Structure 1
Amino acid sequence: MADLKSQANYRLTQISDFLTGNKTATVIPFSPDCTIFPSRKDVPRREDAPEGAAWVWGEDDYLGRVNLLTPARVAAASKEIKSGQIVPLNLPLDVPKVPAFNRQQFKHEIKELAPGVAYDDIYTMNTQSGTQWDGLRHMAHIATKTFYNGTKGEDIKGPQENGNCGIHHWARHGIAGRGC
């Protein structure tokens, strides 16, 4: 009975999308071009995913929600810009003043290369200082030791390292959204 109900809901969603021009995410892998997404509790679950995981972009995905930054969305967002004002989202490099977990504090040294003519900046910082980007391999689902989209510790470090879920995937894709 539940299967018939879900089939009916899926078909009604297809009809509604056709009539409204929307595109609803209902099956995995989600299309980044979808305009309507289910609530968290209604996200389809992959059998190999830990409870509560939202691995909806396909088995070879390492972007997560960055998938939503499609050329069409970025172009649409650019039309929303009114003032052109730039809004920095970064913290100063020395924030927090005392890093968590007894990590080393940020240090900035100016090295004189040629007196009065040339200088180098030397920065020493823990990656937990200032604004940081945590990639999808920063913290695993603890009970299963599984990172985003099935990535395991041996995929991240060691002889089987394969680059899965590294932040370089975001850098390659690029991140651009709205301004003001």
Structure 2
Amino acid sequence: MKKWTKGKGWGWVWGQEDEVGALNEMTDATRLAALQLVKQGKAYDLGLAYDRNSYKWPGHSPGEVMSFRTPAGVKGQKDLPFTTPEGGNAGGTAWHSSALFISDNVATQIDGLGHITHGQDNHFYNGFKADEWGGDFGLRKADVTTIPPIIARGVLIDVAGYKNVDALPSHYEITVEDLEGHCGPRTSTSRPDLSL
């Protein structure tokens, strides 16, 4: 059953206070149906490394992972008394810990429905407005904490494979034609020109 009509808002489908949109359609039955699609048990790692070289939108700062506590620091600086032999650490236990300087929209991530605003009033999903529900410590409506665990059928489209290349150039824009062509018969086995 189609529940959304172009040009209409959101609340008429799932209610004026809804924060998760189409994820409301997940049920125990849909999750079970998705799990029953698994036939081979293959795992595909879609994660990307999070570091200063990770993919990011130009308007975001890069991530940085810095060693904060290391065996050299723990044992050499002796600023944590419980790590010293005198403080009871006779076995010389130490560890590696990191300090993270992060930005969202870097590497593997998911956007909440409050991510993008529109219009002069800066409204986002379900008509929530940034001046009412935004703030210095994160959104208070439709942020990522409202996203439930997602267990659903997924479709991975290998556009690079469809184009017969190992990887798409960084400037390549994936088009509707690329996605539609991937699902149809290939008309050529030649490697296409990807220089845009």
Q: Distance in 2 between matches of 1:162 and 1:139?
A: 11
Contact 1:135 1:165 (C-alpha < 8 Å) held by counterparts: yes
Q: Deviations over 1:66-97 (max 9, x none)?
A: 1222211110011111122222332221322x
| Counterpart in the other structure of 1:58 | 15
Off by >6 Å, runs of 4+ in structure 1 = none
Q: Confirm whether residue 175 of structure 1 aligns to residue 133 of structure 2.
A: no
Q: Deviations over 1:124-170 (max 9, x none)?
A: 22213212221111111224522111101133235xx9822122111
SS state of the match for residue 23, structure 2? Answer: helix
Per the alignment, do residues 130 and 162 of structure 1 end up closer, same or farther by CA in structure 2, a change over 3 Å counting? Answer: closer
Contact 1:156 1:163 (C-alpha < 8 Å) held by counterparts: yes
Aligned residues: 132
Per the alignment, do residues 168 and 113 of structure 1 end up closer, same or farther by CA in structure 2, a change over 3 Å counting? Answer: same
Q: Deviations over 1:95-142 (max 9, x none)?
A: 22x6512x4322222234434841112222221321222111111122
The percentage of counterpart residues that share the same residue type is 24
Select which of 7, 11, 29 maps to 1:72.
29
| Counterpart in the other structure of 1:133 | 110
Q: Which amino acid aligns with 1:80?
A: L
Contact 2:114 2:139 (C-alpha < 8 Å) held by counterparts: no
Q: TM-score normalized by structure 2?
A: 0.55
| Counterpart in the other structure of 1:150 | 127
Alignment root-mean-square deviation, CA = 3.2
| Counterpart in the other structure of 1:121 | 98
| Counterpart in the other structure of 1:21 | none
| Counterpart in the other structure of 1:19 | none
1:54 Cα offset (Å) = 8.7
| Counterpart in the other structure of 1:100 | 58
Per the alignment, do residues 54 and 85 of structure 1 end up closer, same or farther by CA in structure 2, a change over 3 Å counting? Answer: farther
Q: Which is higher, the Rg of structure 1 or of structure 2?
A: 2
Per the alignment, do residues 65 and 139 of structure 1 end up closer, same or farther by CA in structure 2, a change over 3 Å counting? Answer: same
